[in-house]
Structure formats: C-alpha cells, structure tokens
Amino acid sequence: MCGAREIPPGEMRRVWLDGTPVALANVGGEFLAIGDTCSHAEASLSEGILEDGVVECPRHGATFDVRTGENRSLPATRPVPSFRVSVRDGGVWLEGGSE
Ligand code: FES
C-alpha cells in the first residue's frame, strides 16, 4: 500500500508486491501499475519518463503502456506485467498481476 498523495499526477514510484518490484503511476489522477523491471535489460521503469500514459525506459528508451504493460517500441520486444490497482481510504492498493 502507498498513500495516494505520495504520487502526484504525472509521476511514478517503485513499490513492492510480494517481493516483485512494481512501477506505480499516477496518470491524471488515475493510478496504474506495471512491472518495474524493463523486459529488455532490467532497468527500473519507475525511473523513466512518464508522458500520456506511456513510460520511457531510462536505459535504452523502450516505451511501455502503463495501463496494459504492452511494449510500444524497440529495443523491448516483450510486455511487462500489469497489475490491478484500487484506491480506498486514501491509499493505493495493488491486487495482483495479470500477465
Ligand atoms: S533496459 Fe529498458 S530499453 Fe533497455
């Protein structure tokens, strides 16, 4: 769980779900979560640039849809998992992977 106010719109943060790193994003007030580890060479996607619901990997620039985890550009050729998210009592809760 993470406080909803801890992640302003347009920002991401790495959180953990059962030992798995997850990139939690605030896209215009909607919270979305995908696997934090880039499918290309394991950079942390939460350290990348988030724009219009797409994150650009900080290492080689592959892009991923933060709603689905789908890879949008090379050099990544595989998606990352996506996670269901709920917001309640001022907190953001991860509810498991969907890959
Ligand atoms: S590690 Fe992410 S694009 Fe290479």
CATH class of 2-97: mainly beta
pLDDT band at 98 (very low <50, low <70, confident <90, very high): low
Unique residue bearing structure tokens 């719109």: 9
pLDDT of residue 1: 77
| Ligand 1 centroid to residue 86 C-alpha, Å | 28
- Domains of the chain, by residue range, sit at 2-97
pLDDT of residue 7: 95
Atom of ligand 1 nearest to the CA of 61: 3
Atom of ligand 1 nearest to the CA of 43: 1
Radius of gyration of the chain (CA): 12
pLDDT of residue 3: 87
Q: How many CA atoms lie within 13 A of 26 on its CB side?
A: 17
d(CA 86, CA 58): 27
pLDDT band at 6 (very low <50, low <70, confident <90, very high): very high
Whole-model pTM over 0.85: yes
